[in-house]
Amino acid sequence: MRKKWMTAGMAAMLALAAAGCGTSGGSGNSAGSGGSGGNGVKIGLSFGDLQLERWHHDEQYFTDYVKANSKDQVLVQDANGDSSTQVSQCENLISQGVKVLVIVPQDGTALTQVVNDANRSGVKVIAYDRMIVNAKPDLYVSFDNVKVGELQAQYLTKVAPKGKYVLIEGSPTDNNAYMFYQGQMNVLQPLIDKGDIQVVFKQFTPNWSTENALNEMEDALTKTHNQVDAVLDANDSTALGVIQALKQQHLAGKVPVTGQDADLANCQLIEQGLQTMTVYKPIKQEAEAAAKAAIELGNGQMPQTTATTNNKTINVPSILLTPIAVTKDNMMSTVVKDGFHTEAEVKSTSSQ
Ligand code: BGC
């Protein structure tokens, strides 16, 4: 079963690549005809890891927006989950003359030197989706990530108000993982204090990987002799592993499981009653906000921001968007209505 699901994930990626959004490790030339004057500038877009479905959406929306609204060129890099590769790819982009560097950090603490070098060279830095700490990025574009964790825990405590909880958290190198956890605990702590909820297992999941989450959940089920009432799971890639482990014990569909990203396979699992909810973050809004900001920074303008976020060094001017809880009940009016997936796609099992 596990193999089948892994293969399905790869199939989804291939489908996305075939649709023209799977560039990785190379450079995408986005010369366009709209917007800003002159010949445009180079914008570097560095992904820590393009493997998961959601980042392909980010890449496509970002490059499409830049192409339609400027003459700028987007150079895309994928570090394949290796933070030292990401550091050298970013240094390389700076030496290629990018004016703006948009970074999804694999490790939020590993890019200090890159941001310092960018600052010194007059290259503007946008921390995209994930914060870069101990450095001075010019802008942070993301969702309200504490709210993501709150939405997950609010929904889960509604369907499982009492009992034994397993917490499968995100990657320990991703600043977002701690924000999701913080939001979850905002909701859970009072119920833990009251004695309604017991956390029987908690683990952060390296690289947000399905396989690591599967192992963690198997471990949780063994340690608790399958006495688990709910799984507070941080995102959809890890939820795939959790649901696989539950299936092995004939518990899938009986134990509620949360997620995040509205990945296609997970929307299908929600339709089938095997995953309880996901958090949909309209990635188009996020990618287009970052692309617009990158064009502006490249033109010497400061984008409009809505907040600031402390990254342990400065308060980084921020654009923070609103996440949405998605269940079977509102799948059509959110994910499908936005065209993120079609109704036929979410109702099939093609990605599993
Ligand atoms: C993102 C999530 C994503 C996770 C794994 C987080 O930083 O905010 O949307 O599921 O990384 O890629």
CA-CA distance, 45 to 214, in Å (whole number)?
Answer: 31
Asked if residue 37 has pLDDT above 80, the reply is no
Q: Distance of alpha carbon 14 from its chain centroid, rounded?
A: 19
Q: Which of 149, 231, 234 is closest to 183 using CA atoms?
A: 149
Work out the pLDDT band at 38, boundaries 50, 70, 90.
low
Residue 352: the pLDDT is: 64
Of 28-42, 51-65, 78-92, 211-225, the least confident: 28-42
For residue 11, give both structure tokens. 């199939």
CA-CA distance, 97 to 122, in Å (whole number)?
Answer: 10
Atom of ligand 1 nearest to the CA of 145: 8
Residue 54 CB–ligand 1 contact under 6 Å: yes
Residue 235 CB–ligand 1 contact under 6 Å: yes
The CATH fold of domain 2-137+282-321: Rossmann fold (3.40.50)
CA-CA distance, 141 to 238, in Å (whole number)?
Answer: 24
Among 103, 261, 286, 320, name the best residue to mutate to test ligand 1's pocket (greatest count of ligand atoms within 8 A of Cβ): 261
Atom of ligand 1 nearest to the CA of 237: 10
* Residue 40 alpha carbon to ligand 1 centre in Å: 31
Domain ranges in the chain are: 2-137+282-321, 145-281+325-346
Among 178, 235, 237, name the best residue to mutate to test ligand 1's pocket (greatest count of ligand atoms within 8 A of Cβ): 235
Spatial CB neighbours of 277, under 8 Å, sequence gap ≥ 6: 152, 155, 156, 258, 259, 270, 325, 326, 327
CA-CA distance, 289 to 346, in Å (whole number)?
Answer: 27
| Apex 263 CA angle, 340 and 187, nearest 5 | 110
Atom of ligand 1 nearest to the CA of 130: 7
Among 133, 240, 260, 322, name the best residue to mutate to test ligand 1's pocket (greatest count of ligand atoms within 8 A of Cβ): 260
Residue 260 CB–ligand 1 contact under 6 Å: yes
The residue whose two tokens read 């030197």 is 113
| Mean pLDDT for all residues in the chain | 90
* Residue 303 alpha carbon to ligand 1 centre in Å: 24
Residue 56 CB–ligand 1 contact under 6 Å: no
Residue 175: the pLDDT is: 95
Residue 147 CB–ligand 1 contact under 6 Å: no
Q: Please tell me if the domain spanning 2-137+282-321 has the same topology as the one spanning 145-281+325-346.
A: yes
* Residue 235 alpha carbon to ligand 1 centre in Å: 7
Residue 89 CB–ligand 1 contact under 6 Å: no
Sheet strands side by side (includes 100-104): 73-78, 42-47, 100-104, 124-128, 139-143, 315-321, 307-310
CA-CA distance, 236 to 245, in Å (whole number)?
Answer: 14
Of 32-36, 54-58, 191-195, the least confident: 32-36
Residue 31: the pLDDT is: 35
- The percent of residues above 90 in pLDDT, for the chain, comes to 87
Q: Distance of alpha carbon 218 from its chain centroid, rounded?
A: 24
Atom of ligand 1 nearest to the CA of 234: 10
Question: To which H or E segment does residue 58 belong?
Answer: helix 53-69
User: Is the Cβ–Cβ distance between 309 and 320 less than 8 Å?
Assistant: yes
Q: How do strand 42-47 and strand 73-78 relate by DSSP bridges?
A: parallel
* Residue 180 alpha carbon to ligand 1 centre in Å: 10
The CATH fold of domain 145-281+325-346: Rossmann fold (3.40.50)
Spatial CB neighbours of 193, under 8 Å, sequence gap ≥ 6: none
Asked if residue 131 has pLDDT above 60, the reply is yes
Q: Which burial class, exposed, middle or buried, applies to 273 when counting CB atoms under 10 A from its CB (0-12, 13-18, 19+)?
A: exposed
Work out the pLDDT band at 189, boundaries 50, 70, 90.
very high
Work out the pLDDT band at 195, boundaries 50, 70, 90.
very high
CA-CA distance, 130 to 344, in Å (whole number)?
Answer: 32
Atom of ligand 1 nearest to the CA of 142: 8
Residue 124: the pLDDT is: 98
* Residue 176 alpha carbon to ligand 1 centre in Å: 7
* Residue 33 alpha carbon to ligand 1 centre in Å: 32
